[in-house]
């Protein structure tokens, strides 16, 4: 491949004949020029549009000279924390520091700061006081309004305020970045800002043409007001019908969010993935062993964007939107052929998918004209009557990829909505999925089984999952395959109390599944579930929601789903007693854990009791003791038998020789 990386040093800038770059791209991830990484896509789009971009990835944020490495760029700095929020990257849900970072060279942790977008911008401001700064990526996109920060347990202002950036680009920024770059190149006319979709900017006065949101001060002071503000933000994240919004951040500064960017056409999305990516990490990371995150996606194909599944705990609605954008079959097949030519390809395409692999088109014909429904989900509580259900195009794509020389197997490892599969009257997709695209295990996400928890999650009922399990098992039996379902499960989601966690544990006991991993609910900005976690209210109904807040409550729910592990059992017993479910402690077939207390004699008696045998008290014990004494008396009356003596070897008669 003749593709080459964008400059990472001033020497490389000068080798290209540039006096200075138009943009310096600051990123909290290592430089990986692969279309699974947002910085690769945005930088290549700018390059394709004729802009000069230099890459400053994982800078030493404490050293201001790092941000002067390329001098002052002609147009400005672009800043992103990376593929995921820097706080999620750094901390577990228990707020413990992670020891590895898959997006850093050699997986080394600690190479980017907490709240990376803000730190990078503040350093740039120290280096160049008035240089334009554009921020984007997941961290900026999901923190664009006043938002609850789980790690600090408080409501923070918009990241645009704390970073001091010029503009914020939210969502998938292919269109926004070119419009913003052109705006900078044309002189930054403030009058043009309201016309650029997919951006936020600060204004000195409220814009009366916008939907007015409760101020930062108001959402900090009252949780109900916070929930009301979040619902308005959530409802307007539709590119077709969404309205501009305004939120006061302090005395004389107002955040303005324009309408979301329109979905990309198939031709435009195909063009994004046809750009000249090297599909490698930069060679400067070779000595460290490369960048681990690339290994997960190196031989995978991103085929779609967006998701109309609208799970409450997922940020895709707030970031990518609910309208599906998909690449053409020709584009996907062409990329599959390209993968077969790359070094290290061993015949396996690891994934063909996206947020939800089996969504290939908008959920109904009305969406591209009228947008998604404001107060109606496409799949929950049941599939909408207008839902278009078809797997035909996806089947055609998979069949074409299977026929490509050098490809031994193509898998689907992205999320699959099993309720969408069940809504399809044609079972061909599930049959071919089991026959060709599953590697022994298929991972799906029922998340829970308790109705009132599933309601908060926006997930289908247990009956749908059970029906899918039965169909999956039946198809595999007919194919003569031993393949299993691995359900993703979540503990401590808003609405889930100890009783719900116990119900889920009993369900796992009944189906004989013992999860190796359980996801504890992680409150991240931009999701309905995080709003519920912070406010204790479901913003859709304003009804109270139970929230497990203390570390012990969260741990008890998690260990209940892994009740078989000996190290978890003391806490499982505590949880069961707190919930009044001592009936699940013991040795019976329906019990989750043994008693675990007392001496050996007590545990022996408890085992007997669980088997239905009587304890030491009662009539049976007296009769047993009476019989025991009679047996002892008879034994005593018997004469003692003579001890057996073995004859010595010399006493044995010698055999006569013939």
CATH topology identical between 10-199 and 440-582 = no
Task: Report pLDDT digits (tens) over 177-191.
Answer: 999 999 999 999 999
Residue 658 is predicted with a pLDDT of 37
- DSSP code of residue 649: G
| pLDDT for res 653 | 46
Cα separation, 632 vs 139, in Å, equals: 80
Residue 258 has pLDDT above 50, yes or no: yes
Task: Spell out the long-range contacts of 226-230 with Cβ–Cβ below 8 A and sequence spacing 24 or more.
Answer: 226/148, 226/155, 226/531, 226/534, 226/535, 227/531, 227/535, 227/537, 227/539, 227/542, 228/539, 229/145, 229/146, 230/528, 230/531, 230/539
Mean pLDDT of 268-278: 97
DSSP string of 221-267?
H-HHHHHHHHHHHHHT--TTT---EEEEEETTEEEEE-PPPPPPPHH
pLDDT of residue 188: 97
DSSP per-residue string spanning 427-447? THHHHHHHHHS-SSEEEEEEE
pLDDT in tens, 400-418: 999 999 999 999 998 899 9
DSSP symbol at 116: H
Q: The CATH number of 440-582 is which of 3.40.50.1100, 3.30.750.200, 3.40.50.620, 3.20.20.140?
A: 3.30.750.200
- Give 600-641 pLDDT, tens digit per residue: 444 555 455 545 544 444 344 444 444 444 544 444 444 444
pLDDT at 541: 95
**What is the SS3 assignment for 32?**
strand
Give the pLDDT of residue 619.
Answer: 40
pLDDT at 605: 52
Residues of the chain above pLDDT 90, percent = 87
Percent of the chain past pLDDT 70, that is, above it, reads 90
Coil/strand/helix, residue 567? helix
Taking residues 421-429, report their average pLDDT: 96
| CATH superfamily, domain at 10-199 | Cobalamin-binding domain (3.40.50.280)
Q: Domains of the chain: which residue ranges? A: 10-199, 299-438, 440-582
For the whole model, what pTM was predicted? Answer: 0.89
- Which of helix, strand or coil describes residue 626? helix
Give the position of tokens 């000595």: 287
User: Span 299-438: which CATH code?
Assistant: 3.30.750.210
- In tens, the pLDDT along 536-592 reads 999 999 999 999 999 999 999 999 999 999 999 999 999 999 999 999 999 999 999
């Amino acid at each position: 491949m003749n593709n080459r990386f964008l400059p990472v040093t001033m020497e490389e800038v000068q080798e290209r004949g540039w006096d200075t770059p138009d943009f310096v791209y600051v990123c909290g991830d290592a430089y990986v020029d692969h279309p699974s990484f947002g910085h690769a896509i945005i930088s290549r789009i700018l390059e394709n549009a004729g802009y000069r971009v230099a890459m400053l990835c994982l800078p030493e944020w404490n050293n201001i000279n790092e941000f002067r490495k390329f001098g002052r760029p002609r147009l400005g700095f672009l800043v992103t924390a990376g593929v995921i929020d820097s706080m999620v990257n750094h901390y577990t849900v228990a707020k413990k520091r992670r020891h590895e970072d898959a997006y850093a060279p050699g997986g080394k942790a600690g190479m980017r700061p907490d709240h990376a977008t803000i730190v990078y911008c503040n350093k740039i401001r120290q280096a160049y006081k008035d240089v334009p700064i554009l921020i984007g990526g997941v961290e900026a996109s999901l923190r664009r309004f006043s938002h609850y920060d789980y790690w600090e347990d408080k409501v923070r202002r918009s990241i645009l305020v704390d970073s001091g950036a010029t503009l914020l680009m939210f969502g998938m920024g292919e269109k926004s970045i070119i419009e913003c770059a052109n705006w900078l190149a044309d002189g930054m006319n403030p009058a043009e800002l309201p016309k650029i979709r997919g951006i936020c900017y600060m204004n000195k006065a409220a814009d009366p043409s916008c939907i007015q949101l409760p101020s930062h001060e108001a959402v900090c002071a009252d949780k109900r007001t916070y929930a009301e503000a979040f619902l308005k933000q959530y409802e307007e994240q539709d590119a077709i019908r969404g309205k501009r919004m305004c939120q006061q951040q302090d005395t004389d500064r107002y955040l303005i969010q324009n309408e979301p960017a329109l979905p990309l056409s198939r031709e435009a999305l195909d063009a994004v993935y046809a750009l000249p990516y090297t599909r490698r990490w930069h060679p400067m990371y070779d000595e460290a062993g490369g960048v681990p995150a690339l290994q997960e996606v190196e031989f995978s194909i991103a085929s779609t964007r967006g998701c109309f599944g609208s799970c409450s705990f997922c940020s895709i609605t707030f970031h990518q939107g609910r309208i599906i954008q998909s690449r053409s079959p020709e584009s996907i097949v062409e990329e599959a052929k390209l993968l077969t030519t790359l070094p290290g390809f061993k015949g396996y395409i690891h994934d063909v998918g996206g947020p939800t692999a089996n969504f290939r088109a908008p959920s109904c014909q009305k969406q591209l004209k009228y947008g998604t429904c404001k107060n109606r989900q496409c799949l929950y509580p049941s599939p909408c009557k207008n839902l278009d259900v078809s797997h035909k195009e996806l089947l055609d794509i998979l069949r074409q990829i299977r026929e490509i020389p050098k490809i031994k197997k193509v898998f689907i490892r992205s999320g699959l909505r099993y309720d969408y599969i069940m809504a399809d009257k044609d079972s061909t997709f599930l049959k071919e999925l089991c026959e060709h695209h599953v590697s022994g295990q298929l991972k799906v996400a029922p998340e829970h089984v308790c109705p009132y928890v599933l309601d908060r999650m926006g997930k289908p009922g247990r009956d749908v999952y059970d029906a899918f399990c039965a169909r999956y098992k039946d198809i595999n039996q007919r194919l003569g395959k031993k393949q299993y379902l691995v359900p993703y499960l979540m503990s401590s989601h808003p609405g889930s109390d100890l009783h719900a966690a116990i119900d889920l544990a009993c369900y796992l006991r009944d189906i004989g599944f013992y999860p190796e991993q359980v996801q504890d609910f992680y409150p991240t900005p931009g999701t309905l579930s995080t709003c519920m976690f912070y406010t204790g209210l479901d913003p859709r109904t304003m009804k109270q929601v139970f929230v497990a807040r203390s570390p012990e409550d969260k741990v008890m729910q998690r260990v209940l789903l892994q009740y078989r592990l000996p190290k978890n059992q003391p806490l499982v017993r505590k949880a069961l007693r707190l919930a009044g479910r001592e009936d699940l402690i013991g040795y019976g077939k329906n019990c989750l854990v043994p008693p675990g207390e007392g001496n050996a004699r007590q545990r022996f008696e408890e085992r007997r009791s669980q088997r239905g045998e009587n304890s030491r008290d009662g009539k049976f014990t007296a009769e047993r003791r009476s019989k025991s004494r009679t047996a002892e008396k008879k034994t005593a009356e018997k004469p003692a038998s003579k001890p057996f003596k073995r004859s010595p070897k010399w006493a044995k008669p010698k055999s006569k020789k013939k």
